Amino acid sequence: MERNGPLAGLRIVDLSSVLLGPFCTLILGDMGADVVKVETLSGDSTRSIGPARHAGMSAVFLSVNRNKRSIALDLKHPDGRAALLDLLRDADVFITNVRRKPLGRLGLSYEEVAAVNKEIIYCNAVGYAEGGPLQDEPAYDDIVQANSGIAALQAYFSGAPQYVATVMADKGAGMMAALAIMAAVRHREQTGKGQKVEVPMYESMVWFTMTEHLYGHTFVPPQGATVYPRPVSKFRRPYRTQDGYLAVVPYNDKQWLRFFKLIGQEELAADPRFISIDQRTLNIDALYGLLEDAIAQGTTAHWVQALGEIDIPAYPVRHPDELMQEPQLVATGFFRELEHPSEGPIVMMDSPMKLSDSPIGVRRHAPRLGEHSRELLTEIGYSKDKIVALATSGAILIDDTDPASTVKA
């Protein structure tokens, strides 16, 4: 299953856990980077999240940690820390989501890592940007959804703040970290210099949320309130049809005119409330209320066909259970059944990114804890005897299990 990608030859040492950092290195690993996943002796906590055939190889872990090799180190053991620094000597990138003070206690600050590799790109994906009163506080996805405005925006629909039903802040900041790392790689190609990269979850999500919702406060003094009305209209939702639910988005002037004609109310196109996009935005609840009433009069199939014929986007609501049979995803091979060497048949999502000349996607399966400890230390010149001594002392953990012996159908 090995194949090169556009980032082949780029080595990333990944001292991160849960989702933010691992999602970043999932993206970079799919692109061909050699990702070395550094874990504690007990492993990343996501190894225990979700169903599993074997302990430590859960569904969530398998999904996020493909294209990575695992080394398990006790970083509080001097030899474990020394092994990590030796891995970093020839690495291109170091990413971590460990907070600044604990990193300092481990002797893994930017200055200490740069002392062994001055060209390294050191990415700290943390909760809050350096310099603010929250800089040393812990941050989890729920906390960041709450304090970045995301949860409050859901109250327009539910009447009370709610979290979005996906781990948005972790994954959003993970994508930002991948972009920032690639910018730093490009800078090093041009200058030969490494640098420190900081990607805070909180500021990333405020930026993400307020891009459209800064709204009237874009101006000084403000010209109106914050919050763009269209996304928070209580009528902006999938609409009930006679037999299901439908997402439908007439957006521009021509689409609304065609929709009004379709429902036999062409005169609405001349209604001052709906005559232009700025007026429709001001009267969005009334407009979407009309849309909801109209959609309720037909079946889902009727509306998909009728709206498609006049070039208005419409699609039935899909539950996650249905996505593996969704025709678009089936046709593009997005979900792939693969044979994991220890976990048997599993389903992986292909990368949504495609390059015409460079393969992106699954090259190797998610590793068992410490599966590559011996291999990675051998690559950096450790002798067999030294590796055995490290394992005996508890500085490292090695998994030499024969994968074939644990396959389950």
- Decide if 214 is inside a domain: no
- Decide if 233 is inside a domain: no
User: Do 160 and 125 reside in the same domain of the chain?
Assistant: yes
Give residue 354's pLDDT.
Answer: 94
Give residue 109's pLDDT.
Answer: 97
Calculate the CA dihedral of residues 73, 74, 78, 84 and round it to 10 degrees.
30
What single letter denotes the amino acid at residue 171? K
- Decide if 234 is inside a domain: no
At residue 388, the 3 state secondary structure works out as helix
User: Do 310 and 356 reside in the same domain of the chain?
Assistant: no
Tokens of 13: 């040492």
Give residue 402's pLDDT.
Answer: 72
User: Do 153 and 99 reside in the same domain of the chain?
Assistant: yes
Contact call for residues 369 and 72 (beta carbons, < 8 A) = yes
User: Do 312 and 336 reside in the same domain of the chain?
Assistant: no
Give residue 407's pLDDT.
Answer: 44
Can you give the length of the chain in residues? 409
Q: For the chain, how many structural domains are there in total?
A: 2
User: Do 308 and 341 reside in the same domain of the chain?
Assistant: no
Among 287, 316, 345, where does a domain finish? 316
User: Do 177 and 204 reside in the same domain of the chain?
Assistant: yes
- Decide if 92 is inside a domain: yes
Give residue 400's pLDDT.
Answer: 85
Q: How far apart are CA 299 and CA 344, in angstroms?
A: 42
Give residue 408's pLDDT.
Answer: 44
User: Do 281 and 390 reside in the same domain of the chain?
Assistant: no
Among 261, 284, 316, where does a domain finish? 316
- Decide if 156 is inside a domain: yes
DSSP state of 131: T
User: Do 151 and 258 reside in the same domain of the chain?
Assistant: no
What single letter denotes the amino acid at residue 172? G
Contact call for residues 362 and 336 (beta carbons, < 8 A) = yes
Residuewise pLDDT in 10s, the chain (409 residues) = 556 899 999 999 999 999 999 999 999 999 999 999 999 999 999 999 999 999 999 999 999 999 999 999 999 999 999 999 999 999 999 999 999 999 999 999 999 999 999 999 999 999 999 999 999 999 999 999 999 999 999 999 999 999 999 999 999 999 999 999 999 999 999 999 999 999 999 999 999 999 999 999 999 999 999 999 999 999 999 999 999 999 999 999 999 999 999 999 999 999 999 999 999 999 999 999 999 999 999 999 999 999 999 999 999 999 999 999 999 999 999 999 999 999 999 999 999 999 999 999 999 999 999 999 999 999 999 999 999 999 999 999 999 887 654 544 3
- Decide if 79 is inside a domain: yes
Cα 278 from chain centre: 33
Give residue 2's pLDDT.
Answer: 53
User: Do 100 and 249 reside in the same domain of the chain?
Assistant: no
- Decide if 311 is inside a domain: yes
At residue 378, the 3 state secondary structure works out as helix
- Decide if 215 is inside a domain: no
Among 277, 292, 316, where does a domain finish? 316
CATH number of the domain to which 74 belongs: 3.40.50.10540
């996009």: which residue's tokens? 277
User: Do 339 and 262 reside in the same domain of the chain?
Assistant: no
Give residue 236's pLDDT.
Answer: 94
Per residue in 64-85, is it b (16+ CB within 10 Å) or e — as a string? bbbbbbbbbbbbebeebbebbe
State which residues form the domain around 262. Answer: 239-316
User: Do 105 and 61 reside in the same domain of the chain?
Assistant: yes
Contact call for residues 11 and 90 (beta carbons, < 8 A) = yes
User: Do 243 and 366 reside in the same domain of the chain?
Assistant: no
Task: Tell me the Ramachandran region of residue 370: left when phi exceeds 0, alpha when psi lies from -120 to 50, beta otherwise.
Answer: left
